[in-house]
Amino acid sequence: MKGLKIVSTGSCHPQNAVSNDKLSQTVDTSDEWISTRTGIRQRYFCESEKNVDLASNAAKQALERSGISADEIGACVVATFTPDNATPSVACMVQKRLGLPNDALCFDMNAACSGFIYALNVAHGILMQGGSKYALVIGSEVISRVLDFNDRSTCVLFGDGAGAAVVTLSENSVYEFTCGANGDDAILCCPTSGGLQMDGREVFKFAVGIIPVCIDKLLDKSQLTLEDIDYVACHQANERIISHVVKKMKAPSEKFFVNLQKYGNTSAASIPLALDEMASGGMLKEGMKIICVGFGAGLTWGGIMLEW
Ligand code: ACO
């Protein structure tokens, strides 16, 4: 089977940076509580920006860096649980802003914090059908709109942002995918009317259990070991979740990228935001093998192994 290659990445965050101290002015919390329990130092909250603004800016940057033109994009898949409208989709609005072709397949999908991983695999499937060479995969969220700012144990964890990737098929590169869901609305739930609710301890247990399972599955399928993998980019929910996994897997912590201190948990945007920062920072070289793992409401989980 052909693999999936990330040709280029892009990202966008809202203008308004909200430090823990700034958040403490309106929420009964403190920088000390948030940073010691989660590693988060700040997040961005949209003021006037919409989901489509973040998604389009991230996609535009990825497209510019790819060197290909908009009319070569055959599909635009946006992973989000916070679209601007029930319909039209964010993807259709990105199509309009970027001038993607009319025959491009444009749609949103919701797998919560696993969304970007699912979307990469969906794009892989679309490209495997033939007909087009490139797809745009975007994770974009305006979570600030659905937060309950009276629930201090939840609202301090999240932020807004978007990341995007131009992807194409590749002949001889490693590609593995794994995913799952277990139909639970008690641990993590966001009603359409807003008011994200979460049982933090249960989410923690779920996350530290499922991340190693995903990584081991991908390694098993590819017959590789963690030593063969250059970087792991997990969904950026909480530094303690990542440290716990590092310990459990007896892995070197440098392999596990962390940038949640700047963004908080941006759900479907967190993995493409991480990849874009890694790529822009020169960490990712051609041929490197990376694993990305998402986990979130649903409860859903998904892992992907790619070659850069
Ligand atoms: N500021 C100050 N105090 C707080 C805050 C806050 N923001 N939130 C809760 N507290 C207080 C509580 O009221 C409680 O006080 P009490 O002991 O006087 O009753 C105390 O802190 C402990 O509260 P807990 O909820 O038990 O805190 P815990 O140690 O479990 O940490 C946390 C909470 C950080 C959310 C932890 O459970 C966690 O890391 N869970 C993972 C959740 C996560 O990362 N979810 C991401 C979203 S979902 C996803 O992306 C898949």
Q: Could you tell me the distance, in angstroms and rounded to a whole number, from the CA of residue 238 to the centre of ligand 1?
A: 11
Q: What is the mean pLDDT of residues 277-303?
A: 97
Rounded Cα distance between 223 and 298, Å, is 29
Who's near 46: CB < 8 A, 6+ residues apart?
A: 14, 16, 54, 142, 144, 145, 160
Q: Could you tell me the distance, in angstroms and rounded to a whole number, from the CA of residue 26 to the centre of ligand 1?
A: 17
Q: Does the active-site annotation cover 46?
A: no
Choose, from 57, 110, 238, 265, the residue flagged as catalytic: 265
Report yes or no: 302 and 178 within 8 Å, Cβ to Cβ: yes
Q: What share of the chain in percent tops pLDDT 70?
A: 100
Q: Could you tell me the distance, in angstroms and rounded to a whole number, from the CA of residue 111 to the centre of ligand 1?
A: 23
For the cut 90, the answer to whether the pLDDT of residue 59 exceeds it is yes
Query: Smallest Cα–Cα separation from 19: which of 29, 9, 10, 11?
Result: 29
Report yes or no: 265 and 157 within 8 Å, Cβ to Cβ: yes
Q: What share of the chain in percent tops pLDDT 90?
A: 99
Q: Does the active-site annotation cover 13?
A: no
pLDDT value at residue 1: 78
φ, ψ of residue 294 in degrees (nearest 5)? -115, 155
For a pocket test of ligand 1, which of 153, 187, 258 has the largest count of ligand atoms closer than 8 A to its C-beta?
153
Please name the residue whose Cα sits nearest to atom 22 of ligand 1.
Answer: 153
Q: What is the mean pLDDT of residues 268-281?
A: 98
Q: Which atom of ligand 1 is nearest to the CA of 188?
A: 48
Query: What is the 3 state secondary structure string of the chain?
Result: CCEEEEEEEEEECCCCEEEHHHHCCCCCCCHHHHHHHHCCCEEECCCCCCHHHHHHHHHHHHHHHHCCCHHHEEEEEEECCCCCCCCCCHHHHHHHHHCCCCCCEEEEECCHHHHHHHHHHHHHHHHHCCCCCEEEEEEEECHHHHCCCCCHHHHCCECCEEEEEEEEEECCCCEEEEEEEEEECCCEECCCCCCCEECHHHHHHHHHHHHHHHHHHHHHHHCCCHHHCCEEEECCCCHHHHHHHHHHCCCCHHHECCCHHHHCECHHHHHHHHHHHHHHCCCCCCCCEEEEEEEECEEEEEEEEEEC
Ligand 1 pocket, Cβ-based, cut-off 6 angstroms:
29, 33-34, 37-38, 113, 152-153, 156-157, 188, 198, 200-201, 203-204, 237-238, 240, 265, 295-296
Q: Tens digit of pLDDT for each residue in 117-175?
A: 999 999 999 999 998 999 999 999 999 999 999 999 999 999 999 999 999 999 989 99
Rounded Cα distance between 105 and 108, Å, is 10
Q: Could you tell me the distance, in angstroms and rounded to a whole number, from the CA of residue 271 to the centre of ligand 1?
A: 23
Q: Tens digit of pLDDT for each residue in 63-114?
A: 999 999 999 999 999 999 999 999 999 999 999 999 999 999 999 999 999 9
